Amino acid sequence: MTFSLKGKERIDDLQRNGYRIIQDPERFCFGMDAVLLAGFARAEEEDHVLDLGTGTGIIPILMEARYGCARLFGLEIQPESADMAARSVEMNGLSEKIRILTGDIKEADLLFPSASFDCITCNPPYMIGNHGIANPDAPKAIARHEILCTFEDVAKQAAKLLKPGGHFFLVHRPFRLAEIMVTLTRYKLEPKRMQLVYPYVDKEPNMVLLEAVRGGRSRMTVEKPLIVYREPGVYMPEIYEIYGY
């Protein structure tokens, strides 16, 4: 089956189940953070999963490839990105399992019933404010900066939409870790598992992976650090495994 591409879109191989994804390098292409989040998350075949701010749909597609979840949804505010995600879902023959919706994270509770998801994933905008933004309406700026929603917006919606005992998985930047923990607990999303990601063994971490449970008890496991590169251009074995190579 062939699919028409728009503008400068391309089709990339995801190295999982033969799945592919449509991306536009002039808008926003998924990065390692999305792949690591899908690898860090846990789900069951019967689970219903929601990805908040899904972009081009990379996380729902990878979650289906890894866990075969019963039903997955991706919510994306930018219509062009949501359109690419929907076409990628169709291209991979996943339309009966994955549904992409165009909408605002801040209004997710108007689109989905309360307490309806077993798992929620999110790779949210990391940066606060407009520092360094040339065009706040640009797709890459919206994906990277808290222009259209804040982390508190994300946490608030996750708390509403998760079932009691449901799991919230996210990737973020370590410099905001204190704020993230306070916000999660404010919305009764108890941090349960954390893993720091280091580019090299002798560098500071540049990502943090977190799992929180709605209404969970206060106890968190810190997993061993995840090191990305053995040397420039050469991944550590754990990274090759996560990518499915």
Q: How many CA atoms lie within 13 A of 127 on its CB side?
A: 13
State how far the Cα of 118 lies from the Cα of 205, in Å rounded to an integer.
29
Which run of H or E residues covers position 211? Answer: strand 207-214
Q: Give residue 85's domain range.
A: 14-243
Q: Coil, strand or helix: which one is 210?
A: strand
> 110 lies in a domain?
yes
Residue 71 lies in a domain: yes
- The pLDDT value given to residue 227: 97
Instruction: Confirm if 100 and 74 have CB atoms less than 8 A apart.
Output: yes
Q: Is residue 210 in some structural domain?
A: yes
Say if 9 falls within a structural domain: no
pLDDT at residue 29, as a whole number: 84
Integer Cα distance of 17 and 47 in angstroms? 19
Please indicate, yes or no, if residue 28 is contained in any of the structural domains: yes
Q: Answer whether 161's CB lies under 8 Å from 108's CB.
A: yes
- Indicate whether 25 belongs to any domain: yes
Q: If DSSP states are collapsed to H, E and C, what string results for 53-122?
A: CCCCCHHHHHHHHHHCCCEEEEEECCHHHHHHHHHHHHHCCCCCCEEEEECCHHHHHHHCCCCCEEEEEE
Residue 134, pLDDT > 50, answer: no
Residue 36 has pLDDT above 90, yes or no: yes
CATH of the domain at 55: 3.40.50.150
Number of domains into which the chain is organized:
1
Residue 164 lies in a domain: yes
Yes or no: say if 70 and 45 are a contact pair by the CB < 8 Å rule: yes
pLDDT at 143: 52
Give the pLDDT confidence score for residue 146 in this predicted structure. 47
- What average pLDDT does the chain have? 90
The answer to whether residue 161 scores a pLDDT higher than 90 is yes
Is 52 inside a domain boundary? yes
